[in-house]
A and B are shown apart, each in its own frame.
Chain A
């Protein structure tokens, strides 16, 4: 079974530029998550999708970050414009979670390391 795929693996941009990350979850996984992991810290949830609907985006800086999940499969996370403090690893995860009250393991992708200069 293929795992969660992410691209690119690395990205270097200058501040005020735009960047986009792509995630392909495990086939059949209804729930998709984007996390931000700043160096020296644990991952922090940015946004959670259930199929193609947003379940939780309370920690997404909506003035500069946006995310979409078209057709309930692949997802893209965009930052526009980027700031120095956005330098981090962006992790995508997916799970088979069917709805509230259930629990299923989250499977993580390899992440994208973003450096903002």
Chain B
């Protein structure tokens, strides 16, 4: 069974600075998807960024980018120019051949003014 590990329960960053959230996963599959979701206090899960495992190029969405290391099974999220609205829980998730999303336990990110 796939597992997703987020080793940082909480992190904080100053507004306008850069922060990196870590995620590792375990799988024997070769083709899969990895995701970062944001969950603000409103509880609505919002997709931040997606990476296909067969793509070597790291995904980027505006201020959000990933560092995907397939051999190391590592998938970190970098948030540049942090904004107050980035304050939320961030979940790393894996989807393989079973097409089920498997989530990590999350990292609570606080952006300080």
Q: Which residues of A contact B (CB under 8 A)?
A: 40-45, 48, 56, 89, 91, 93, 97, 100, 103, 105-106, 108-111, 113
- Complex alpha-carbon distance, A70 and B87, angstroms: 38
In the complex, A110→B46 CA distance in Å? 10
Residue positions of B touching A, CB distance < 8 A? 4, 33, 42-47, 50, 91, 93, 95, 98-101, 103-106
**Bound Cα distance A97, B50 (Å):** 16
* A111→B99 CA distance, assembly (Å): 21
The 8 Å CB contact of A111, one of B4, B43, B104, is: B43
Cα A44 to Cα B99 in complex, Å, equals: 13
Q: Which of B44, B50, B93, B106 contacts A41 (CB 8 A)?
A: B106
Apart from the given pairs A43-B45, A106-B47, A108-B45, 8 other A-B contacts in the complex at a CB distance below 8 Å: A41-B106, A42-B103, A42-B106, A43-B103, A45-B100, A89-B43, A110-B44, A111-B44
B99 near A100 with CB under 8 A, answer: yes
B100 touches A56 (CB 8 A): yes
- B47 lies within 8 A of A105 (CB): yes
Question: Complex Cα distance A105/B46, Å?
Answer: 10
- State how many angstroms separate the Cβ of A25 from the closest Cβ of chain B: 14
Residues on B with beta carbons closer than 8 Å to the beta carbon of A111:
43-44
Q: Provide the bound-state CA to CA distance between A42 and B43, in Å.
A: 12
Closest to B45 in A: A108
8 contacts between A and B (CB under 8 A): A40-B106, A42-B103, A43-B103, A44-B103, A56-B98, A105-B50, A106-B47, A110-B43
